[in-house]
Chain A
Amino acid sequence: MTGAAPEPIAEVREAVKRFPAPEGGVVTALDNISLEVQQGQFATLLGPSGCGKTTLLRTISGFEDLDSGEVRIGGIPVTGVPPYRRPVNTVFQNYALFPHLPVSGNVGYGLEVAGVQRSERDRRVGEALERVGLSGFHRRKPAQLSGGQQQRVALARAIINQPKLLLLDEPLSALDRNLRQSMQLELKSLQHDLGICFLFVTHDQEEALTMSDQVIVLNQGKIEQVGPPEVLYHRPATRFVAEFIGDGALFHGKIQNTDADPVLVTEDGLRIAVGTGPGVGDSATLIIRPEHLSIAPEDPDDSMGVLDAVLEQMVFKGATRQYVCRLANGAAISATPPEASEEAFIRVRPGEPVRLAYRRSKPHLIVETN
């Protein structure tokens, strides 16, 4: 980012956190992590379980101390500041609603401990509940609510203090698929309306892509890539990101023939045409997404790459059909061709050979320059 960057809401600098492993030794949960989240952003920490994303969230909320490095919130270092004095609020994974308090008591808790007057409190509790679509639930106890409703109460409780930054620790993981999808959209629009910066933790890449302005991909305590969902999907920076986000076949090998049409040669001898750019001898990984592939025309031009495969099966996915094929080296590759070119596929029976084609410029190539 160039020019006058706006003041980040939260900033993590060179954070390191190690835990003693249960079986002895040390686990590095955060390995020199630096990141920023900006005002009004919906940022997501994405990674497999054990990648350090929850630890990172907990160092921001103040429940974990860093071994070294620093967290700043609103430009102010918060090292040593206890959680109850940080201007952040959290939606916990299991909601952590107070079972002995009614919905209004839960939602108004933050205001009550801050000494806000009763009338003012009631008004704001009403507003917050209305925002999450739970008006009229004041007197219910958490145990009398469904999972989705508890989720909303936890959300209302966390936004009522108007935090600078709202932390969400896998809040949707306990909900069923349909509810989760509608909550994703609701969270997104809530974030837009409130203008509060959301930092969302998830291991679900689809969730991350759906909601985020900015995704931070973590793996083994390190940041793999930071960027908007489109960039992560189309231009993954590392093999891990390419594998973790979206479907697609990965080919790893060395580049040969630099002239006009470079070719990636894999270890088992597969030759795959790639776009221009890399130099001869570079190690590289090519990601071919299913939507890049269609049936090759009779006479493919130079801008296309061609792969010989055998059609294994067709999977009906509702809006699209997925054609699962097997390449000469035994690797599986999927194609979800656009409707226009589907006709060619329909004529192919499972077990028959098929020529797959893609625009050479489409699949992303990760070059590891030696």
Chain B
Amino acid sequence: MAVKRDSRRLFALLTPGTVFLGIFFLGPLAVMVVFSFLEPGLYGGVEWNFYHWNYGRILGWADGEWEDFDPVYAEIFFRSVRLALTNVAITLLICYPAALWVSGLSARWRTFVVFIVTLPFFVSLVVRLFCWVLILRPSGFLSSTLLGLGLISEPIDIIYTETAVLIGMAYILLPFMFLPLYASIEKLDHSLVEASYDLGANPYQTFLRVILPSTLPGIAAGSVLVFIPSLGNFIVPDLLGGAKVLMIGNLVEQQFLSARNWPFGSALSVMIMLVMFLLIVIYLRRIGRSEIVR
């Protein structure tokens, strides 16, 4: 009886979420996968014929013409993956020490800092990124300050470069790295650190052998949460990267909104999903193999 009631309750609790995701997530996803195998219509839309050269185009052979090999899309693809991974590394290096420090504060200050970290979410993303445009452009805040202090002799021109894109993406995604890391570090049993010291391990050894392995779940969660939105991001490269630092997200956006090549946009999206899926499976597997007992 109890089992039956439990399963009925489970059914009742899960139905709304399942229905919602079924209609608004799996439905569009299926449309996208189907479209990615259809011929692009001349003025947008699709022709209902099977067409696999959408995927060929990603690799460099548009419409099956071997002599026109041009890996421009593949380059954008790899650049996106590289930038996303770099961004994971940057946010991790910034957030880990910060989270370690915050976890040592008193309870009141910890709550305050966590609130501060989430504060940017209250302001529109686009507005915040425009602020970065004002900061990073040659006549902007950063350049003029450094010029005024006499640290540089010419204005620095880093807007519309990869550096600017990385700065913007790291800025936007810092909270997604910080919060899971902090949750994991705060849970760390301090007596483990003491045990390590007690057994003769210096602070450096203790960090590598006890603190880092114990907080791997937080590192994994933060990395995944930063990697996914980094890879698909199109707003940051749009505003801070200009036309020079095109990322895969911009490409998809262009295909749907400007080029009106829906099948190619769909094929790109499917590829993004597959790459993300693959990388995340590899990543979680590796962390899983280090056998976290939690």
- Please report A residues at the B interface, Cβ cutoff 8 Å: 61-63, 82-85, 88-90, 92, 94, 96-100, 109-110, 112-114, 141-143, 157-158, 161
Per the 8 Å Cβ criterion, residues 154-208 of B in contact with A are: 189, 191-192, 194-202, 205-206
Any A CB within 8 A of the CB of B214: yes
B197: A residues at CB distance < 8 A: 62-63, 82-84
State whether A96 touches B195 (Cβ < 8 A): yes
State whether B201 touches A113 (Cβ < 8 A): yes
B210: A residues at CB distance < 8 A: 98
Assuming the contacts A141-B291, A141-B293, A143-B293, asked whether A96 and B201 have C-beta atoms less than 8 A apart, the reply is no
State whether A92 touches B199 (Cβ < 8 A): no
State whether B199 touches A161 (Cβ < 8 A): yes
Since A82-B197, A99-B192, A99-B214 are in contact, a sample of 4 more A-B pairs with Cβ atoms closer than 8 Å, ordered by chain A residue number, is: A84-B202, A96-B194, A98-B192, A113-B209
Give the distance in Å from the alpha carbon of A143 to the alpha carbon of B292 in the complex: 11
Give the distance in Å from the alpha carbon of A72 to the alpha carbon of B232 in the complex: 61
B291: A residues at CB distance < 8 A: 100, 141
Tally of B interface residues using CB under 8 Å? 24
* A–B pairs, 20, beta carbons within 8 Å: A61-B198, A82-B202, A84-B196, A84-B197, A92-B198, A96-B192, A98-B196, A98-B209, A99-B214, A99-B292, A99-B294, A100-B214, A100-B216, A109-B199, A112-B209, A113-B202, A113-B205, A141-B293, A158-B198, A161-B200
Any A CB within 8 A of the CB of B138: no
A63: B residues at CB distance < 8 A: 194, 197
State whether A142 touches B198 (Cβ < 8 A): no
State whether A89 touches B198 (Cβ < 8 A): yes
Most chain A CB within 10 A, of B189, B191, B216, is at B191
Any A CB within 8 A of the CB of B213: yes
State whether B200 touches A84 (Cβ < 8 A): yes
Give the distance in Å from the alpha carbon of A247 to the alpha carbon of B210 in the complex: 46
The residue from B192, B194, B213, B214 contacting A83, defined by CB atoms under 8 A apart: B194
Any A CB within 8 A of the CB of B290: yes
A89: B residues at CB distance < 8 A: 198-199
State whether B213 touches A114 (Cβ < 8 A): no
Give the distance in Å from the alpha carbon of A142 to the alpha carbon of B192 in the complex: 13
Closest 5 A/B residue pairs (Cβ)? A96-B195, A110-B199, A96-B191, A113-B201, A83-B197
Give the distance in Å from the alpha carbon of A114 to the alpha carbon of B192 in the complex: 18
State whether A96 touches B213 (Cβ < 8 A): no
Closest CB of chain A to B208's CB: distance in Å? 10
B214: A residues at CB distance < 8 A: 98-100
- Please report B residues at the A interface, Cβ cutoff 8 Å: 189, 191-192, 194-202, 205-206, 209-210, 213-214, 216, 290-294
Closest CB of chain B to A201's CB: distance in Å? 14
Give the distance in Å from the alpha carbon of A289 to the alpha carbon of B216 in the complex: 58
Give the distance in Å from the alpha carbon of A143 to the alpha carbon of B214 in the complex: 14
State whether B205 touches A100 (Cβ < 8 A): no
Closest CB of chain A to B62's CB: distance in Å? 50
Give the distance in Å from the alpha carbon of A39 to the alpha carbon of B205 in the complex: 31
Give the distance in Å from the alpha carbon of A121 to the alpha carbon of B294 in the complex: 27
Assuming the contacts A113-B205, A113-B209, A141-B291, asked whether A98 and B195 have C-beta atoms less than 8 A apart, the reply is yes
State whether A90 touches B201 (Cβ < 8 A): no
Closest CB of chain A to B98's CB: distance in Å? 23
Most chain A CB within 10 A, of B189, B196, B198, B201, is at B198
A142: B residues at CB distance < 8 A: 293
Closest CB of chain A to B202's CB: distance in Å? 5
A99: B residues at CB distance < 8 A: 192, 214, 292-294
State whether B198 touches A84 (Cβ < 8 A): yes
State whether B195 touches A92 (Cβ < 8 A): yes
A84: B residues at CB distance < 8 A: 196-202, 206
Give the distance in Å from the alpha carbon of A323 to the alpha carbon of B109 in the complex: 59
State whether B213 touches A100 (Cβ < 8 A): yes
Give the distance in Å from the alpha carbon of A158 to the alpha carbon of B194 in the complex: 13
B292: A residues at CB distance < 8 A: 99-100
Give the distance in Å from the alpha carbon of A71 to the alpha carbon of B269 in the complex: 67
Closest CB of chain B to A24's CB: distance in Å? 15
Give the distance in Å from the alpha carbon of A85 to the alpha carbon of B291 in the complex: 30
A85: B residues at CB distance < 8 A: 200
Give the distance in Å from the alpha carbon of A87 to the alpha carbon of B194 in the complex: 15
Closest CB of chain B to A85's CB: distance in Å? 8
B200: A residues at CB distance < 8 A: 84-85, 110, 113-114, 161
A82: B residues at CB distance < 8 A: 197, 202
- CB-nearest residue of chain B to A63: B194
- CB-nearest residue of chain B to A169: B191
Give the distance in Å from the alpha carbon of A113 to the alpha carbon of B199 in the complex: 8
Give the distance in Å from the alpha carbon of A270 to the alpha carbon of B212 in the complex: 67
Give the distance in Å from the alpha carbon of A61 to the alpha carbon of B294 in the complex: 28
Give the distance in Å from the alpha carbon of A127 to the alpha carbon of B47 in the complex: 75
Most chain A CB within 10 A, of B197, B200, B201, is at B200
A88: B residues at CB distance < 8 A: 198
State whether A92 touches B194 (Cβ < 8 A): yes
Closest CB of chain A to B245's CB: distance in Å? 40
Closest CB of chain B to A308's CB: distance in Å? 55
State whether A92 touches B191 (Cβ < 8 A): yes
B290: A residues at CB distance < 8 A: 100
Give the distance in Å from the alpha carbon of A188 to the alpha carbon of B213 in the complex: 35
- CB-nearest residue of chain A to B191: A96
A114: B residues at CB distance < 8 A: 200
B294: A residues at CB distance < 8 A: 99
A112: B residues at CB distance < 8 A: 209
A98: B residues at CB distance < 8 A: 192, 195-196, 209-210, 214
State whether A109 touches B293 (Cβ < 8 A): no
Closest CB of chain B to A129's CB: distance in Å? 16
A97: B residues at CB distance < 8 A: 195
Give the distance in Å from the alpha carbon of A113 to the alpha carbon of B195 in the complex: 13
Closest CB of chain B to A87's CB: distance in Å? 9
State whether A100 touches B293 (Cβ < 8 A): yes
Give the distance in Å from the alpha carbon of A141 to the alpha carbon of B293 in the complex: 8
